[in-house]
Amino acid sequence: MAEKILSAYNASSTAILAQIYRAVEKEFSEYYRIVNHDDEAEFEGKLTPSLGKLGFDVDFFGRGFFPPGAYHSEGHQDSMGLCLYLALMKHTLGKNFTFAILDDVLMSVDAGHRREICTLFKTKFPRTQFLMTTHDPIWLQHMATEQIITSKSSVHFRKWTVDDGPIVWEGGEVWDEIKRDLDQDDIPSAAATLRRYLEYISGLLSHKLRASIEYRGDAQYDLGELLPAVVAACKKLFSKAQEAANSWNKKEESGRLSGYQKEFSSKVDKSQVEQWAINKSIHYNEWAQLKKQDFAPVVEAFRDLLECFRCGSCRGLIYVSPGKGPKESLWCDCGAFNLNLKAKGKS
């Protein structure tokens, strides 16, 4: 009787597991084909139940089914793991799969396939909120470009300690830290924090404003390259917006833009960004040698300058739209800051 019970149980459980595996392997294979449609559009995976374990084999370009570690690269295996996790969650939770945490899961996946993972998230999991962490700024930009995240839904940690937890660049904390250093006459620390913050924000603005910067294969850009390019790009955009306003005979808008450009140029001159290349005495490498009364105005000048790149309503950074091709507008996420860049009669 015991043998019959065991046999019936094994047959029943195996049948149910086989049914689950077939459903999951179908979803898994579909997700993986989306991510790797350029080279594995005919991919298939097989989940086979066996005593005490699960057999997992995947197709290798029509040459048979093998364990993933046999022929697939680490990047492909990482994307397989993500696709398998998503397939399991969808099968297990269905419509209740509304939240997932992905902790740095794409470090080995190349840039091209990361874009396709964004496509996978948008098309197959529109109701799921993903909380993702990464050390890779390029992946962060991919998510922003593919509109997986917005400026309000991403947070950049600049340091982390056990006692204080994560500290972010945005939210005013960086200016509070600089002020504390100034109050303690610790100019080197204040200068280092300001420089790192300016490099961080200039990198973001370079991308958002489509600034022209000499390409570097190692992606190591310093502040002397980034911020002047951002300022130059912004001046060109304001000038282009005024040209467009004049072409549409919008005199009030043109006058407003003229005043805005004068204010922006005044703040640029105060920060002396455009003079760095010719005057080493005001270059950021010399900041640490200044006194408190000399460095405090430098901090204030850059803080005022950076306000020009933010919307007064949503506090988000302004950006050029679209991300490629002819530049049509300069605006923010909420739309309160919106400058037309298309002149009349130009497509």
Condensed to tens digits (0 to 9), the pLDDT of residues 65-95 reads 888 888 888 888 888 999 999 999 999 999 9
Query: Are 226 and 203 in contact, with CB atoms under 8 Å apart?
Result: yes
Decide if pLDDT at 275 tops 60: no
Condensed to tens digits (0 to 9), the pLDDT of residues 217-265 reads 877 888 888 999 999 999 999 999 999 999 999 999 999 999 999 999 9
Runs of H (alpha helix) within 36-136: 68-71, 74-93, 111-124
Query: In which residue ranges of the chain is CATH 3.40.50.300 found?
Result: 2-149
pLDDT of residue 277: 45
Per cent of the chain over pLDDT 70 is 91
Condensed to tens digits (0 to 9), the pLDDT of residues 112-145 reads 677 788 889 989 999 999 998 888 776 777 777 6
CA separation, residue 240 to residues 145, 223, 259 (Å): 23, 25, 14
Residues 206, 207, 211, 213, CA torsion sign? positive
Rounded to whole angstroms, the Cα distance separating 69 from 49 reads 19
Rg, Å, the chain Cα set: 27
Q: DSSP code of 311? A: -
Decide if pLDDT at 17 tops 60: yes
Domain 2-149 has CATH 1.10.1740.10: no
Rounded to whole angstroms, the Cα distance separating 48 from 164 reads 48
Rounded to whole angstroms, the Cα distance separating 66 from 316 reads 49
Decide if pLDDT at 266 tops 90: yes
Rounded to whole angstroms, the Cα distance separating 104 from 134 reads 5
pLDDT of residue 76: 85
Rounded to whole angstroms, the Cα distance separating 181 from 217 reads 35
List 317's β-bridge partners, or say none: 310
* Residue partners of 295: CB distance under 8 A and separation at least 6: 182, 187, 190, 191, 287
Helix (H, G, I), strand (E, B) or coil at 246: helix
pTM of the prediction? 0.65
First to last CA, the chain: 83
Which residue reads 């640490």 in tokens? 288
pLDDT of residue 280: 45
pLDDT band at 168 (very low <50, low <70, confident <90, very high): confident
CA dihedral 86, 91, 94, 96 (to 10 degrees): -60
* Residue partners of 32: CB distance under 8 A and separation at least 6: 40, 43, 45, 79, 80, 83
Q: DSSP code of 242? A: H
Query: Are 91 and 27 in contact, with CB atoms under 8 Å apart?
Result: yes
pLDDT of residue 1: 94
